[in-house]
Amino acid sequence: MRALILGGDGYLGWATAMAFAARGHDVLAVDNALRRRLCEEIGVRPLFPMPPLTKRADIFFAHSGKRVAVCEGDLRDAAFVDALFRDFEPEAAIHYAEQPSAPYSVMGPKEARLTLDNNLGVTHNVILSVLARAPRCHIIKLGTMGEYGTPNIDIEEGWIEIEHKGRKDSFLFPRQAGSLYHTTKVMDTDLLWFYVRAYSLRVTDLMQGPVYGISTDESDLDERLSPCFNYDDVFGTVVNRFLTQAAAGEPLTVYGKGGQTRGYLNIRDTINCVELAMQNPVAPGELRILNQFTETFSVNDLARIVRKAGRAMGLSVKVESIENPRRELEEHHYNPAHSGLLELGLKPHFLTQSVAEGMLEKILGRREAIDRSAFKPRVKWSRETFLKR
């Protein structure tokens, strides 16, 4: 298929671009290096080397003989987006092109404005260009399980049946996001749902949990093809952070009580979920929501898995509870449904001890490059922090 990958330089976007090209899809990866610039601004860097996107595409071609076409540009520019859809005529638009960090979104007014303008502006430009230039294109947007928050009822897969005063209807499951980033994802869903109803767009919204992992079949060809592996407190996810802390000989920093529970998945499963959605498109006028995760863990569960894997490899791994910088429930009910992708054929990779050990081994190979100062939380979900000028 002709797959336009928006945000093709990111942690998930680059891995998806390579995998789709290797599997025979016609791929165009688009990015403006926003994540790289934001990392530089706050003084963090990925653990593994990351040549520029065009260079990475050349390295991948040299190893695989498969081509990832690359286009550099700002998706907030409506004319640029319009030209992309006009010239490439995608059958599927994979939308990863958003500022992806909850902590970054609440660092202050500037970061909040960037998150709001970038995430909603890009989504709306994509919608308008699909309507004008590629009306049969299937939009596959990466949402987040964080849209739902942690309600005291089971989380359904996108929709919920409501009975009120003797009448029934189906509505989007109530959203209660815990950061501005997650709130922009809620707004994305509402934007898409409006245009689906009004103009018969075809949309799959993937409510994804936090992703972990370093390795894909394609990135294993050359270390320079590794995903954008952040382990810091702003852009790094908790599993990747814990593994890097273990490799560095630093304690695993559990925020608060550690009972915060979420749905997680391996980066390989992200790729496969997106491809399954692409190969099984929805009809015009349909918004399909799929909860994209494979298993649930509390933060304490993850610390135990990483500690056990580290000790099996001869590392002295300690766990330390620190003050939680976030505003979130630390003990809560969490039981989300996630049958849709399994029904489409997903064969999950699970976070076993051997998987954790394999990631640790790769990280240990870069141990000297680890910046230990990047682990300490620098962002507090506080009014004073957010309103600083």
* Residues annotated as catalytic (active site), given as ranges: 144, 181, 185
Torsion over CA: 265, 266, 272, 274 (sign): positive
Return the HEC string of the chain: CEEEEECCCCHHHHHHHHHHHHCCCEEEEEECCHHHHHHHHHCCCCCCCCCCHHHHHHHHHHHHCCCCEEEECCCCCHHHHHHHHHHHCCCEEEECCCCCCHHHHCCCHHHHHHHHHHHHHHHHHHHHHHHHHCCCCEEEEEEEHHHCCCCCCCECCCEEEEEECCEEEEEECCCCCCCHHHHHHHHHHHHHHHHHHHHCCEEEEEEECCEECCCCCCHHHCHHHCCCCCCCCCCCCHHHHHHHHHHHCCCEEEECCCCCEEEEEEHHHHHHHHHHHHHCCCCCCEEEEEEECCEEEEHHHHHHHHHHHHHHCCCCCCEEEECCCCCCCCCCCCCECCCHHHHHCCCCCCCCHHHHHHHHHHHHCCHHHCCHHHHCCCCCCCHHHHCCC
